[in-house]
């Protein structure tokens, strides 16, 4: 099997490869500038999503492998960050559960839609939730760091922490809204009727 390793897919693969490095930087307990470095690495990895997308479109290198790997890499990065924050006691586990569960649910809906020959485009809600998730995660990584305390002082850090919580709250709300928006746009797929000539189509009809 020949995997199409064009430049877009290479960038995506690098994002996946460096996720464990990011997790180690989060959990290693590096003093002083450790959280800042972890936040910088997370931001860099998140930014590569735009880079591989640009490369794929500008060089006409959009592949099936890239369509599979790119969203998977994004979900793995955000999931890794959330789990690490929960492990460090920085984030309540229910917030991570809501965000991660949404990704599983939407991925399942997407697979059903593709099986029925339908493509549901990413909505503005989905794009906005991704931005707020990334920014909020960066805020949570650095909000208790020593360099931030030295720069902002105790009062400034308190305001920064409040802002991080507000951004995470918005991210959670957008996560839920985007999930229901996806359900809305997938309503025809979920309600049927399905094409019983497709493999497994008759089984789907029996479940209605």
Question: Considering the domain boundaries, does residue 107 fall inside one?
Answer: yes
Query: Which band of pLDDT confidence, cut at 50, 70 and 90, is reported for residue 193?
Result: low
DSSP single-letter state for residue 123:
P
Are 4 and 63 in contact by the 8 Å Cβ rule? The answer is yes
Question: Considering the domain boundaries, does residue 161 fall inside one?
Answer: yes
Give pairs for 38-47: CB < 8 Å, separation 24+.
Answer: 38/141, 39/138, 39/141, 39/142, 42/77, 42/81, 42/134, 42/137, 42/138, 42/141, 43/134, 43/138, 45/15, 45/18, 45/19, 45/77, 46/77, 46/134
Say how many domains are in the chain: 1
pLDDT of residue 145: 92
Question: Considering the domain boundaries, does residue 207 fall inside one?
Answer: no
Question: Considering the domain boundaries, does residue 23 fall inside one?
Answer: yes
Q: Could you read off the pLDDT of 136-159 as tens digits, one per residue?
A: 999 999 999 999 999 999 999 999
**In this structure, what CATH number is given to the domain that contains residue 151?**
1.20.120.1760
The predicted model scores a pTM of 0.86
Question: Considering the domain boundaries, does residue 199 fall inside one?
Answer: no
Question: Considering the domain boundaries, does residue 27 fall inside one?
Answer: yes
Question: Considering the domain boundaries, does residue 22 fall inside one?
Answer: yes
> In the numeric block, which tokens belong to residue 122?
């990413």
Q: Could you read off the pLDDT of 148-190 as tens digits, one per residue?
A: 999 999 999 999 999 999 999 999 999 999 999 988 888 877 7
Question: Considering the domain boundaries, does residue 197 fall inside one?
Answer: no
Phi, psi of 192 (to 5 degrees): 80, -170
Residues with Cβ within 8 Å of 195's Cβ and at least 6 positions away in sequence, in order, are: 116, 201
Question: Domain range holding 157?
Answer: 7-192
C-alpha torsion 6→7→12→14, nearest 10: 110
């Amino acid at each position: 099997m020949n995997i199409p390793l064009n430049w877009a897919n290479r960038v995506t693969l690098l994002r996946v490869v460096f996720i464990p490095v990011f997790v180690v930087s989060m959990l290693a307990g590096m003093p002083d500038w450790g959280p800042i470095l972890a936040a910088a690495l997370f931001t860099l990895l998140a930014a590569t999503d735009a880079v591989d997308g640009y490369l794929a479109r500008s060089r006409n290198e959009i592949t099936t492998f890239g369509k599979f790997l790119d969203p998977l890499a994004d979900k793995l990065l955000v999931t890794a960050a959330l789990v690490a924050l929960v492990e460090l006691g920085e984030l309540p586990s229910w917030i991570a559960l809501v965000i991660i569960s949404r990704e599983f649910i939407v991925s399942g809906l997407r697979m059903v839609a593709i099986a029925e020959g339908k493509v549901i485009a990413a909505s503005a809600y989905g794009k906005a939730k991704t931005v707020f998730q990334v920014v909020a995660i960066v805020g949570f990584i650095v909000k208790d760091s020593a360099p931030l305390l030295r720069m902002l002082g105790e009062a400034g850090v308190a305001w920064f922490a409040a802002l991080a919580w507000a951004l995470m709250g918005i991210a959670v709300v957008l996560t839920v809204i985007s999930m229901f928006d996806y359900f809305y746009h997938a309503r025809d797929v979920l309600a049927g009727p399905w094409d019983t000539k497709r493999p497994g189509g008759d089984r789907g009809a029996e479940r209605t």
